[in-house]
Every structure is written in structure tokens, then in C-alpha cells.
Amino acid sequence: MSKALVATSLAAALTLALSGCQSNTSRTAQSQASAPATAPVATSVATIPTYSAETFFDTISLSGNSFNHSGNKLLLSSDETGIYNLYEVKVSDGSRTQITDAQDSTYSVGYFPKDDRILFSRDNGGNELHHLFVRELDGTIRDLTPGEQTRAGFAGFSKDDASFYVLSNKRDPKFMDLYKYDAKTYDNELIYKNELGFNVAAVSPDGRFIALNKTNSNRDSDFYLLDTRKRSAKPSLLSAHDDPANYNAWGFSVDGQSLYYATDARGEFRQLWRYDLATNEHSLALKADWDISFLRFSETGRYMVSGVNADASTEISIFDTSTNKQLTLPSSLPKGTLSGVEFSHDERFMSFYLSSDTSPRNLYHWEIGSDTAQRLTSTLSKQIDENNLVNSEIVRFKSFDGLTIPGVLYKPKQASATNKVPALIWVHGGPGGQSRTGYSAMQQHLVNHGYAIFAVNNRGSSGYGKTFFHLDDKKHGEDDLQDIIYGKKHLQTLDWVDGDKIGIMGGSYGGYMTAAALTFTPEEFEVGINIFGVTNWVRTLTSIPPWWESFKKSLYDEMGDPATDEARHRRISPLFHAKNITKPLLVVQGTNDPRVLQVESDELVAAVKANNVPVEYVLFDDEGHGFSKRENRIAASNAYVRFLDKYLKGE
């Protein structure tokens, strides 16, 4: 596990708050779909085979990626058994060994620096109360952060590898304190008591300094530096500024002499800056015409990896800091997006994932400077011909007020001017999320079955500058909904889309937008699929999980404070106006969801039933805000197609 600098941001934190649904979705307790055949079936367009959900989700999803201390193994999480568990991969031949067999999804953190003990995280049924665990060399597992209401996360190893840091809210459910653990005994001590609502960003390699972030509003944040050697010291503000801007510490340089931070103070997009701890000077480190997404270094800092969110895709650059030249990857690699770049401790080897719209992430191992990279995984179902899958296209259109809105469009291979297809507007989570390019089994399943998908990045989406990001503040269900409607109008201009058969679907905030569209513009869309979407903002904003406390003010700035904006929240909440819904609706929900409570979906379903409108309800008793179990994702995807075939295609 390299001592890497990893970037997060206010926008990402806010997106996390109400997103949760990207492209994976799952099973039912109340409405179980019958599984279609797994073998390809010929459609009316003879050359295009269709594949079942079981086949699409036979695809393996991978996450995490870290070298062990000797560099002969990699650790990752894989859902190849249906639930994410830990696997060790031999770099010599790519063989995998499953090393956990849990009933809840288990995610790798990494190896200990000097032996093959393993750190990993897991929650309980999707309740988002993640604990940090260690797997000992003999295979025994120990919970390092016990407690029914404890939420914890890993915060890095010290430079001497003798200790590591853990964030935990066990003292106060609202805030994450910082603890230092002995790497051998696991004895721990509280080293930063978080009583002011800061967020710990990073600890310096020698443990002396702690970088802290503080959210002031959804437009403004600061970062601080705490010197732990000064007992009475208070965090020092390093981002004094007059006009609203976001400043967020990311992490320290490998030598501990600098602190990197991101800010949008000097333009529309997030730039990366460096603060010199000795001279107190600030200098520009990295900028682009888009947001800088992250920065990380290899063990000694020789290699620097940076990412840019370029028009809904991530562009990664890898530099050799000793020569200031960019690494050239083997030309034999397939086209795709790089992610998860890690380096061995001796910096001779690099591992990374490569993916595309038509290919899920595959893991590669590369001896730096050599002509070839070794592919260690094959994650797409062997029953699927990648040539039958669809690449996306970035498309822009004008909204009601002339604002240009971007989106990611998927055109089914069956579609033509003589074979028009139904279409779906997909709305991402958030508020403040972003639909991005890349492989999605769920979306490819829908497209493969003849449904065009237009993932609209309505105003308020991240990735297109701070002005665009704030255009929906306290206008949710209004101006952003008009962007979605104008996205539908754009689809109707395409000669291969059946303009009379357009539906809407989305997860979390996208689920809210789905319900809002059917409620407030009931004649625009023919059907809706609401995946754990908010229906009652009055209740949701007063029942948020306690660990959201540090950015609650930011959320209220965007959505409105329930203490003062209840009237508007009632006005934009679909539940209070559900009598307007006249089009068929599918609702999907996880019982353990701590963000959008089950009662939200229960009440919406009951209200639509009272209208004598077709409504179907898929409820998972072992999932939360996002579906991690394969059988659930299969069942949900089957439910989507079955519902759309019946009510949108009219079969």
C-alpha cells in the first residue's frame, strides 16, 4: 500500500451525501422478476443479439488495488461470488485467491507496509456504519473499531510504518476524531478531538501536522494546519480570503515539507496549489481547463499521478519527477480510461485498472519502462461480444433559458430512422453529482434491449465550473427539472428516437427528479423509475444521519434550511402532490437506507396506488443506499426491463 496523496473535495462530499446510485442496482422482496434466458436471443434486428441481466451481471466488478510489501501480490475487492470480498492476485500468473467470505460487501484498504496483514472495511447490510478490520497472518479477523453506532475510516500509515491513523465517531456520532494505532499491538490513542466540525484531511509523514478542512457554506470552505507538538495550539487558518471560494487540503508531500490543497478561488475550475510549511509561501502546482480531481505519489515521490475531470471522463497523467517527463505506457494497451494507479514499494512496478464504455475495469501489472503490460483479470462475461455493446457520445443542447447543458448519450445498435427506439432520460444522484462515461452493466443492459439513454448533466452538476454548479441552489425541482425536460426535447429531434416513448429514471436525487417530473410535469414522460429517491424533503432534511453534521450547513445552503424553508420544501416534494401522478411508476428501495428512508418510498407507492395508476415496488431487505449484491442488481435490472417493456414499449 503506497503512502499516496488522495484528493477529495466539497463537491464530492456533497455528492456523496445524497447520491449512492451510480450504475449498479439490485434484488426484490416484494416484486421478484422471473429471469430471462442467459443465452443471447435474436431481436427484430437480426444482427443484434440481446443478453439477459444475468449475463450482464456475470461481469465482475473490481475495486481497490494495492501491492504487498514484497511486490508479488496485489489486493483487491471483487464481486465474482455475488458479494464483494477480498482477493489476493499473484502478479506472476494472475491467479486469484479469495481470502474473505462475508455476507456483507467487504472492501480492501491495503496490506500493512512490512508484512501481509490486511486492512479492510465493511458495514452491516448497507447501513453505512463502516468499521475497520484487520486480517491477521493466520487468517483471523479483528474489528479495530467496534461499536453498534461507530463509523470509522482509514487515514494512512506513519512514515516509519510503526503506526497508522483511524478516523472514528465513537466519541461523538456527529464528528470524526483522529486516533493513532500501534501497528503491532493495535493500542490506540486519541490525537485529535474534533469538537468544531472540522474534517481531517491528512496527517504529515512524521505525524507532527494535521491538515483540517472546514465547510462554511456550499460556496465557501477553509483549510487549517494543526501542530500537534504545541499542546495548547489551535488550528491555524491557511486560506484567508474575502470572496466566497472553496479551499480544501488534500495531503502532504512525501518529504513532509509541503501541503497540497485545491481551490476554485482563481477561476471556474479547481486548481491544485502547494503550501510550503517552512516559508509559508503558496504556489500553483497544477491547473487545467477542467477540475483537477486528484493527485498521488509513489513511495519516495518519484512518480506523480494526477487526474482531470475532462468533460465527464477522467484523464490521468503520470510523471517521473526525477526527469519531469510523462511516462509512456505500452502501445499495445487497449483504448480506455486509466484508474487506480499504484506503485510497488521499490517503485519498479505499477498496477492500474483500464476500462471503457464497453469494457468493465480490468487490472494490469506493468514493469515501468517495459514494452508490455500484463493483464491480470478478464471481467466481461464470456457470453458477451464487446462489439455488441455501445460507446457513449457527449452531446450538448440548449435549455429553456438558453443555457448549454451537457449529457452522455447511448444509442442502441438497433436504432435507425426506420427502426425508432424508445428512450430514457437518466438523472444522476446528488444534488451535485455527475453522469460520466464508463462501463455500466445496468445501462448497457437497457441499451442492449433497445432503450436509448441520455444521461443529462443538468445545471447543478459538478465538473463544469462553479457557476454551473450553483445554478440550481434552492431551485431544485424547478430550473434543473426544466433542463431534464429540454433534454427530452432534444431526444425528440433525433430521427432514430420514438418521440412518443420517452421515460425518466434515476437514483437518489435522480429518483427525486423522476418523481418530481411525474408529479409537476405529468404529461412530459410516459413512465418513471424512481430508485431510492427523496419524496419528502421536509422529512429528509430533518432526519439526515448524524455523521453529515460537518457539511450540513453546505447541504442547507444548497437545498434550504428546514427551519426556514419548509414551505418551499413542501412545494417541491412529490409526496404532497402525488395526486398529479398519472403515468406508470416503478419504485426501488433498500430497507437499510440511512439517507432516503424506506418510508419515503412506502408512502409514494401508496399515494400512486390511490390514483389507480400502475405502480410497482421493489424492496430489498439487505441493502442500503445503493445495491452491492449481485443477485439484487440482477433482480432490479430485470425489473427495469420488464416494467419498460410493458409500459413504455407497450409489449
Q: Where are the domains of the chain?
A: 12-55+383-647
pLDDT at 35: 35
Task: Please identify which residue in the block is written with the cell numbers 476500462.
Answer: 355
At 32, the pLDDT band (50, 70, 90 cuts) reads: very low
pLDDT per position as a tens digit, 355-390: 999 999 999 999 999 999 999 999 999 999 999 999
Say which residue, 89 or 46, is predicted with more confidence.
89
pLDDT at 40: 46
Query: Which one is the CATH code of 12-55+383-647: 3.40.640.10, 3.40.50.1000, 3.40.50.1820, 3.50.50.100?
Result: 3.40.50.1820
Q: Which helix (H) or strand (E) holds 440?
A: none
pLDDT at 431: 87
pLDDT score of 3 more than 50: no
| Percent of the chain surpassing pLDDT 90 | 84
pLDDT score of 14 more than 90: no
pLDDT at 459: 97
At 594, the pLDDT band (50, 70, 90 cuts) reads: confident
pLDDT at 29: 36
Q: Which helix (H) or strand (E) holds 179?
A: strand 177-182
- The three-class DSSP label of residue 518 is helix
Nearest CA among 596, 508, 650, 644 for reference residue 33: 644
Where helices occur in 195-248 by DSSP H, the ranges are none
pLDDT at 28: 34
At 555, the pLDDT band (50, 70, 90 cuts) reads: confident
Average pLDDT over residues 230-249: 92
At 291, the pLDDT band (50, 70, 90 cuts) reads: very high
Average pLDDT over residues 596-603: 93
Cell of 560: 434550504
292 within 8 A of 7, measured Cβ to Cβ? yes
Task: Please identify which residue in the block is written with the cell numbers 442467459.
Answer: 38
At 38, the pLDDT band (50, 70, 90 cuts) reads: very low
pLDDT score of 43 more than 60: no
DSSP one-letter string for 595-621: SS-HHHHHHHHHHHHHTT--EEEEEET
Nearest CA among 472, 333, 481 for reference residue 399: 481
At 212, the pLDDT band (50, 70, 90 cuts) reads: very high
pLDDT score of 651 more than 90: no
pLDDT at 230: 85
pLDDT per position as a tens digit, 393-438: 999 999 999 999 999 999 999 999 999 999 999 999 988 999 999 9
Say which residue, 237 or 12, is predicted with more confidence.
237
pLDDT at 27: 33
pLDDT at 558: 86
| Percent of the chain surpassing pLDDT 70 | 93
Say which residue, 39 or 32, is predicted with more confidence.
39
Average pLDDT over residues 246-271: 97
- Please count the other Cβ atoms lying within 10 Å of the Cβ belonging to residue 264: 23
Nearest CA among 603, 599, 595, 557 for reference residue 578: 603
Contacts of 183 (CB under 8 A, 6+ apart): 112, 157, 161, 162, 163, 164
At 267, the pLDDT band (50, 70, 90 cuts) reads: very high
pLDDT at 41: 44
pLDDT per position as a tens digit, 20-29: 443 333 333 3
- The three-class DSSP label of residue 387 is helix
pLDDT score of 335 more than 50: yes
Residue type, 75: L
pLDDT at 233: 78
pLDDT score of 526 more than 90: yes
Nearest CA among 448, 423, 491 for reference residue 649: 423
The DSSP 8-state label assigned to residue 416 in this structure reads B
Half-sphere exposure of 139 (CA within 13 A, CB side): 7
Cell of 220: 465557501
pLDDT per position as a tens digit, 149-190: 999 999 999 999 999 999 999 999 999 999 999 999 999 999
Task: Please identify which residue in the block is written with the cell numbers 445552503.
Answer: 557
Average pLDDT over residues 585-612: 94
The answer to whether the peptide bond before residue 40 is cis (omega within 30 degrees of 0) is no
Average pLDDT over residues 636-640: 97
pLDDT at 1: 42
Q: How many residues does the chain have?
A: 651
At 282, the pLDDT band (50, 70, 90 cuts) reads: very high
- Please count the other Cβ atoms lying within 10 Å of the Cβ belonging to residue 443: 25
φ/ψ of residue 38, rounded to 5: -85, -20
Measure Cα distances from 176 to 20, 149, 548 in Å: 21, 13, 10
pLDDT at 2: 39
- Please count the other Cβ atoms lying within 10 Å of the Cβ belonging to residue 159: 18
At 239, the pLDDT band (50, 70, 90 cuts) reads: very high
Average pLDDT over residues 615-626: 93
Q: Are strands 497-507 and 528-531 parallel, antiparallel or unpaired?
A: parallel
pLDDT at 636: 97
* Whole-number Å distance between alpha carbons of 120 and 75: 10
Can you give the pTM of this predicted structure? 0.88
- Please count the other Cβ atoms lying within 10 Å of the Cβ belonging to residue 539: 18
At 554, the pLDDT band (50, 70, 90 cuts) reads: confident
At 545, the pLDDT band (50, 70, 90 cuts) reads: confident
* Whole-number Å distance between alpha carbons of 308 and 317: 9
pLDDT per position as a tens digit, 494-524: 999 999 999 999 999 999 999 999 999 999 9
Q: What angle do CA 115, 119, 122 make, to 5 degrees?
A: 160
At 85, the pLDDT band (50, 70, 90 cuts) reads: very high
pLDDT score of 354 more than 70: yes
Residue type, 298: S
Cell of 38: 442467459
* Whole-number Å distance between alpha carbons of 101 and 95: 18
- Strand ranges (E), 2-100: 41-42, 49-50, 62-67, 73-78, 85-90, 96-98
pLDDT at 169: 95
Bridge partners (DSSP) of residue 119 are 110, 134
pLDDT per position as a tens digit, 101-152: 999 999 999 999 999 999 999 999 888 899 999 999 999 999 999 999 999 9
pLDDT at 411: 98
